[in-house]
Structure 1
Amino acid sequence: MSDEESGWHLTESDPGVFTELLKSLGVPYIVDDLYSLDPDSLAALQPIRALVFLFKWLPQSDTEPDPSLSSGSGAQYDPDFPGFFAHQVVNNACATLAVMNALGNIPSLPSGPQLQELFSFTTGMDAQTRGLVITSSDWLREAHNALSPPSAISLDGLGLPKTSEDAYHFIVYMPAMGCVYEFDGLKSHPIRHGVYEEKGEGWIAKAREVVEARIATYPQGSLEFSLLALREDPLPIIQSRLKQLQDAGRGNDSEAAELFVRLSNENSKRERWAFENSVRRHNHLGFIHALLVAMAKAGKLQPAAEGARTKMQERIARRKEVGMDLDE
């Protein structure tokens, strides 16, 4: 199913994109990239509500082992899961569906009225019906598509050879009812990965084992996955603590200095997200057209096209030398 048929566009695995989606849902959380699963790195981001895992999706036969059940944690499907779980019923909706499956299992979630109404409306529905309701929600689809506009140029009908593209998929790991659960909209049921201890790192320690086992199923050094942390926004906490210190005449001590650094880093990150999202929203077709016209008038378009064609032919030749097919 194409983007035009499903109405849902591909979502970039970017914390700024996910944070903007949460903002449109009225949820005061943010999403951060995770580059390490070591305790110190994760502790700096607490409280973490869920881990969003993006991986290269590969079709599996009935005889192949399910990587979700190979974590060594006694993982098993939970058909009687009483919380929120929705199936993915259209292409390209997995990013928002992963977020919905996470938010729907956070107790006392602060959110906007539309999201509250959607969760209330789907109470008691089975996973398939929930998925249909979610993907039929116009406002949610618009929020999903806001930072991934459809391509303004279509190659359909030109008779060009079809090329294979890698498919990527978002799933969620999070705590629920004393266990770490995996929510994958393409699976029949949530997957329970076993209980976790409340002491120490809590659910994060168990989730680390599960995620590391999943990553271990990829070739060493593979870059075919990414991990994001869904967490509470630290800005209000930082600002509140800074005000307390300043009111107590401690605005210049070491704790305040550390908080100022954190505040600066958080604000810089948000400024970067805002700029990158503004670029994503902008339609660059007009600029591209004007640039091509200007190059044509200056007599530079044809040489540039010939140079690009030559480079492509060289690339094809190099790939053939090492036995690589262009479509791989």
Structure 2
Amino acid sequence: MSGEDDSSGWQLTESDPGVFTELLKTLGVPLVVDDLYSLDSAFLADFQPIHAFIFLFKWVSSPPEPMAGSFDPDFPGFFAHQVVNNACATLAVMNAIGNIPGLPMGQQLTELLSFTTGMDPNTRGMVLTSADWLREAHNALSPPQAISLDGLGLPKQAEDAYHFIVYMPYMGSVYEFDGLKSFPVRHGAYDEKQGWVEKARGIIEDRIGTYPPGALDFNLLAIREDPLPRLQNQLAELQTAGNESEAAHVMVKLSEENAKRERWAFENSLRRHNYLGLIHSLLLTLAKTGRLDAAKVGAKKALDERIAKRKEKGESMDED
């Protein structure tokens, strides 16, 4: 679960495909993560093969029993509990890739997963979150806050907590891996012809249906095969065969994928940057030119207007 202060050293992670893909790259796993904006079969077909869904939702206190499916206390695969706050994104990734047979991965990850073999979920979670290198990989794209307001006596407002879980196939059934649950949740066997994605789609749609109409308290990501090698091979084969029309179509897809990777790399570089020096320089320049007081007045006015609008909607917002 994310959204609470924690002294464990694990920081909040964005639900962003570029962040998750960078994490997989650091772990030596040749997969990518993509945003999904629809559960339509035709839309999902463009992302196949999909190994797992990562589902983000606003966490609310709920009964210990699963909403659907049933606990599998004898689950023979990989499952780790979340034992510290803010680690749920990486724990979700670990619970997913730990159950993909034959998946290539880096040496550190291979050794870590091997070391946890035979451990119960809680001990396994403690071992994972105690691995300094894994925590550093998790925190790499969520740097610490440069400015802390602790100790200033400012009013605090409880923030919504969000949680990542996983849906994926394992031994002919669709499973749900939630690090806050006692055991993996088995949702039953899926039809081999239709595939596991079709069954998982219904499970996720039912879960989304429990939210109020129009709610935006969730997000869905897909862990899938990296399409770049496949597209590059297709392009080479089509060009060799002289099929220029199909080759042009593949080139468009390849260009779109490369552009997406460039965007991810740029956004991740911004996440790694410390803007404290820039902020200090801007404030210093405003003060030297006599515009700092006016900027403060303008910012205060904008904040008051923002608070007023939220109050009109019945929302609470403490002035901070």
Structure 1 and Structure 2 fold alike (TM over 0.5)? yes
Partner of residue 239, structure 2:
246
Match of 1:197 in 2: 191
Shift of the alpha carbon at 1:246? 2.3
The residue correspondences of 1:7-46 to structure 2 (distance < 5 A) are: 7-46=9-48
| 8 Å CA contact retained: 2:52, 2:168 | yes
CA distance in structure 2 between the aligned counterparts of 1:264 and 1:207, rounded to whole angstroms: 31
* Cross-structure match for 2:294: 303
Whole-angstrom CA distance in 1 between matches of 2:94 and 2:67: 23
Measured after TM superposition, the shift of residue 242 of structure 1 is 1.3
TM-fit CA distance, 1:309: 1.4
1:60 aligns with 2:51: no
Q: Distance in 2 between matches of 1:258 and 1:99?
A: 33
Matches within 5 A, 1:21-170: 21-60=23-62, 68-70=66-68, 75-170=69-164
Moved more, 42-51 or 308-317: 308-317
Q: How many residue pairs were aligned?
A: 316
Structure 2 gap ranges (5+):
none
1:161 positional shift? 1.5
- Kindly indicate whether residue 185 of structure 2 is the aligned counterpart of residue 182 of structure 1: no
Shift of 1:2: 2.7
Q: Contact conserved, 1:102 with 1:172, CA < 8 A, in 2? A: yes
2-side partners of 1:114 and 1:272: how far apart? 28
| Alpha-carbon distance change, 223 to 117 in structure 1, aligned in 2, over 3 angstroms | same
Moved over 6 A (4+): none
For the 8 Å contact 1:181–1:191, the answer to whether it is kept is yes
* Residues 173 and 196 in structure 2, CA contact (< 8 A), matched pair in contact too: yes
Report sequence identity in percent.
69
Task: State the secondary structure of the residue aligned to 1:261.
Answer: helix
Offset from partner CA, 1:298-319 (integer Å, 9 cap, x none): 1111111012112323333444
1:165 alignment partner, SS class: coil
Secondary structure of 1:160 counterpart: coil
Does the residue aligned with 1:69 lie in a helix, a strand or coil?
coil
Q: Is the 8 A contact 1:50 1:229 kept in 2?
A: yes
The one of 273, 284, 288 equivalent to 2:279 is 288
Match among 214, 231, 241 for residue 224 of structure 2: 231
CA distance in 2, matches of 1:319, 1:110: 49
Residue by residue over 1:67-106, the C-alpha shift from the partner in whole angstroms, topping out at 9 and shown as x without a partner, is x424xxxx10111100000000001000000000000000
Q: In angstroms, what is the RMSD of aligned CA positions?
A: 1.5
- Kept in 2: contact 1:164–1:327 (CA 8 A): no
Q: Deviations along 1:101-133, whole A, 9 cap, x unmatched?
A: 000000001111111111111010000010001
Trace 1:207-226 onto structure 2 (pairs within 5 A): 207-226=200-219
CA distance in 1, matches of 2:131, 2:112: 9
Normalising by structure 2, we get a TM-score of 0.95
Which deviates the most, 170-179 or 240-249?
A: 240-249
* Mapped partners of 1:188, 1:102: distance in 2: 17
Q: Is the 8 A contact 1:89 1:132 kept in 2?
A: yes
Q: Which residue of 1 aligns with 2:265?
A: 274
Which residue of 2 is the match for residue 263 of structure 1?
254
| CA distance in 2: counterparts of 1:324 and 1:97, whole angstroms | 32
